[in-house]
A and B are shown apart, each in its own frame.
Chain A
Amino acid sequence: MSRAQTEMIGLAIIVLIMIIGMVFAMKFLIKEPKILSDAGDKQVATAFLNTLLSDKLEVNECKVGVELKELIQDCSTPPELPNRCADNTITYCQKAETVIKGILEGSLKPRKKEYEFYLCSKDLKNCAPGKAVIEDVSNQRMCRQDKTQVIYPLPTEYGTVFTVLNICTKS
């Protein structure tokens, strides 16, 4: 075997070692999704909507005995039939927006969870920025990475109201 051939074999071995190294590195660099963290976000989002729509969560400053769930359902009512709070200044749906934003700011924001909350009527396609009846986004840049989404539909007389909570997954 001539010297040139030996050197070629040497070079081929080095390239082979580097390829094996690269494959090995890629195996570790492509991280598996963090199942625990995702499960945590899903649980938080589910629990949040579950609690938000729970029975007897009353908004007495709007009307004695009226539940937040009822205020939310009113967001699908046609504008000519609005239910107004006792002081007759704002509608049920407007009050629901104030209460939900307050709860989101008091619960998710201090715990550094980025979120998108949408409440839309009739079609889930309306649960998007600019289309939703109620919209609250913690960061205007929105969820840049993946998000954990939970949807709760609420049937009403005038169609279904969808509450959507997206919790942004940190990269």
Chain B
Amino acid sequence: MPNNILKQKKAQTRMLETIAVILIFFMLVAFGFVFYANMQKSNTETKYMEEKNAKAIKIAKSALNLPELQCNGKTYCFDESKITAFSSGSVPKNQYFEVFRYSEITLEKIYPSKGKVQVYSRKNPATTSKQSIWVPVALNDPLTGTSFAILTVDAYE
């Protein structure tokens, strides 16, 4: 084989080698980018969920500490007579929009009797997306005693 053809073949092989190395390098870089983007996406989603959760927790805490609803000086306790007055509409709900925003607050009695009371409801007309949290609470009635209940807060975006 002539010498110049041999040299050409060798150069082609080296070119191929360089191209392969560059290809592998860029594949690694692309893999890294995809991995990083996925991680960032899941981190953003987690932060978004945490923020939504925090909003619902804030509303639940506001409800638990609202003097218009809570028992005297007790945590995780509502006064049933106050709840009845609040949910019956005798208290203008618009005043509480600053506190409860777009949310639904319900109390579900578990023991000794079962039942459900809607304390506050204002749905967001713009969205149906909501975050729910719940917490066990005592529902105290000075006449009939205490009930075990669950406070559920559905916070709309």
Mark A residues whose CB is within 8 Å of B. 10, 17-18, 21, 24-25, 28, 34, 36, 40, 43-44, 47-48, 50-52, 54-61, 99, 102-103, 106-107, 111
Contacts and interface: CB of A to CB of B under 8 A. Distances in A.
Contact of B135 (A18, A43, A58): A43
Contacts of A44: 134-136
A39 to B, nearest CB: 9
Given A102-B111, A106-B111, A51 B133 contact: no
A48 B75 CA distance: 12
Nearest to A113: B134
16 contacts: A17-B28, A21-B28, A28-B35, A36-B54, A40-B53, A40-B57, A44-B136, A48-B136, A51-B76, A51-B148, A52-B136, A57-B111, A58-B146, A61-B112, A102-B111, A106-B110
Given A40-B133, A51-B76, A58 B145 contact: yes
Please give me the 10 A-B residue pairs with the lowest Cβ-Cβ distance, nearest first: A56-B146, A106-B110, A54-B138, A28-B39, A57-B146, A58-B145, A48-B136, A56-B145, A47-B76, A47-B136
**Which of A25, A58, A107, A111 is the most central at the interface, judged by chain B CB atoms within 10 Å of its CB?**
A107
A108 to B, nearest CB: 9
Contacts of A102: 111
Interface in B111-157: 111-112, 114, 133-138, 140, 145-150
A50 B145 contact: no
Contacts of B76: 47, 50-51
Contacts of A43: 135
A111 B77 contact: no
